[in-house]
Every structure is written in C-alpha cells, then in structure tokens.
Amino acid sequence: MNKVFLKKFNAVIVGLGGIGLEYDLSHNKDYVLTHSKSFMNHGGFELVCGVDRDIERCRKFESFTKKPGFLELSSIPKDRTYDVFIIAIPPGERDCVLKECLYFKPKLILMEKPLALDVEEANRLIELCEKSECELAVNYMRRCEPTVQKLKKDIEDNRFGSFLGGNTYYTRGIRNNASHFMDLYSYLVGKPSSWGVLERKEKKEANKDPEFDFWISIKNARCVFQSVSSSNFSIGKADFIFENAVIYYDDFGRNITIRAPEDDPQYKGYRRLKHIAEKLESGFVRCQQYVPEHIYQHFVEGIDLVSSANSGLQTLIICEDLIEQWQK
C-alpha cells in the first residue's frame, strides 16, 4: 500500500555536484544516492528547482528531474514558499548562500556534511539560522538508515552488553570520511569524552583535509582510527566491540554483520567468535532516501532530528582539535 502524505513541503537544492545530483546519473535505478533523487521521489516533498553556477549541471538536473535549474538563487521563483533548502556546496563557501536561502524564510536548512570547514564558520551558520528561527540539520545520512536505527535500539536495550572499543579504517580525509564514522560512534554508543593523535605519518601541510591515525574515547573505551592511502582503493569500515558481540560495519555500510561468541571447540576454556555471522539488511544503496522521510516525520509528527546542528558541530570540533594536534 502506498503511503498517503497529508502535507507536502517545497524543497530546493543548492549545489548539483556529486551528492547533489551526479552520483545517481549513472547508477542502478534502485539506488538513491543524491538529494535530487531522494527529494524528487518522496511523496511528501515537491522538488521545486535546483541551483548551481555550472550551466551543464543545471541542464543535467533539468533532464533528470524535469524541474528547472538556475544559475543563481536570486533567479528562483519569488511567488513560492520554500520549506527546505539543501545546501550541497563545499564548506568555506556557505555563509552568503545561507543568507540568500534564509531570505525565503524556510523551516529547515539541510547542510551537507561536514557542517563547515572549521568551528568558526559552523558557529556563524548556526547563529544565522537561530536568528532566522530556522532549523539546521546536517546530512550524516547513516543516522536515518533503518538498520542503523535498529542497531541503536538494540545497543540501548543492552542486547550486546557493555561497549569495549572499536577499530576503524578510513581514506580520503578526516573531515570528509573519518567524520562519518566518528558521527556513527557518537550516535550508536555515545559522545566521545576525549581524543588524541596516534603516531604521525608524513605531513602534507597544504592538505585542508588530512589523513592520520587517531583515537576517540567513549565510555572509557578507545576507538582507533587508522588512515589508509586511497591510491589503490577506498576503504571505510568500523568494528564495534561489545561484551556479547562484535558488530562489523563494513564497506561504508554495504555489509553489516554481527558475530556472537561461543565456546571454542578446539581449546577448552576459550571463547571465540562464531564463524557464521548474523547478516543485517543494508540500506546503503538507498542511503539518501531515508533523509527526506526523516525530515518529513520531523515536520508532521514532531520527532527529533537525529542529525542536528549540535551533533554536527560536536563532530567538527573533534576533527578540528585533532588536526591542530597533528599539525603541532
């Protein structure tokens, strides 16, 4: 049975690059990897238009969505109300764009992660939204994914026992990719209480989003992050170690399994992890479709935003402090 949407909200996407549009242009029709496809397909939203300074991207957007694309925010129709603006341009360029969006008095701004290039910029963005009485959310989309939300409930219900630690491998920058897993630890297990840099690799001072090894501590349990060069392949995986199970969040979330302990059949008195794992359904190939649904439920049912400005700021604070430690 198709879901009935009693209300419909208007959305505009600003920034039609990878996450805004292009990831879905050459993929399986069942994939939902971008803001354009997710808001276009959601019955509770009308995707009114897209905005990008690149005319070719605007043309691709128009072909894909059958909606108009504009080169400037000032060109979008003035006789409409807009409830959501999705800002998917690079951090460091968002102040002026946000001000233009807030002119239309939207209910919510969805900011692509990371929230900002640094904490100073993030605080400016938050202050601008607060002054305009507009909510600000950050697109850490894994928080909206049903399997991740089910895992969170299982952890809160103590299905796996106490959290003992974690291990993560990442490529392509602490802000861009490692922050996803830092945010995932925060969402599933709790806010980090301390953090620090491990053995330093060769510095690349010109790199605004460096890669290095570090740790965060949650509930007195250490989670280690190891950076890997992306010259051969990209990797993104996290192991969540509990008293009664290990959760393997592998291949950026495409493969999620749980292995519980059992008596070792070979060595008496030892316990090992079961060879046959419980495999969970992953929604990663549709990762963006859950974001507009969550925002819709927030508008209509009043549920709390799972990825707010505050949670996005907390992740950014840790990233910035770790980078400062690494640069010393």
How high is the pLDDT of residue 249? Answer: 98
Mean pLDDT of 315-323: 96
Encoded amino acid at 243, one letter: E
pTM for this prediction: 0.94
| Topology (CATH) of 9-140+288-307 | Rossmann fold (3.40.50)
CA distance 39 to 11: 7
| Topology (CATH) of 146-282 | Dihydrodipicolinate Reductase; domain 2 (3.30.360)
pLDDT at 257 over 70: yes
CA distance 34 to 32: 6
- Structure tokens, 277: 């794992």
Number of Cβ within a 10 Å radius of residue 290: 21
Burial class (CB in 10 A: 0-12, 13-18, 19+), 298: middle
Secondary structure percentages of the chain, helix, strand, coil, to 5: 35, 25, 40
Q: How confident is the model at residue 201 (pLDDT cuts 50, 70, 90)?
A: low
* Whether residue 146 has a cis bond before it, omega within 30° of 0: no
Taking alpha carbons only, the member of 186, 285, 173 closest to residue 234 is 173
For the chain, domain boundaries? 9-140+288-307, 146-282
For 213-224, the DSSP string reads -EEEEETTEEEE
Mean pLDDT of 217-246: 96
pLDDT at 137 over 70: yes
Q: What percent of the chain clears pLDDT 70, i.e. is strictly above it?
A: 97
Local structure of residue 308 (DSSP, 8 states): B
Encoded amino acid at 312, one letter: G
For 28-51, the pLDDT digits (tens) are 889 999 999 999 999 999 999 999
CA distance 152 to 147: 9
For 141-187, the pLDDT digits (tens) are 999 999 999 999 999 999 999 999 999 999 999 999 999 999 999 99
Q: What percent of the chain clears pLDDT 90, i.e. is strictly above it?
A: 91
CA distance 5 to 269: 57
Among all chains, which residue has been given the structure tokens 């549009």? 21
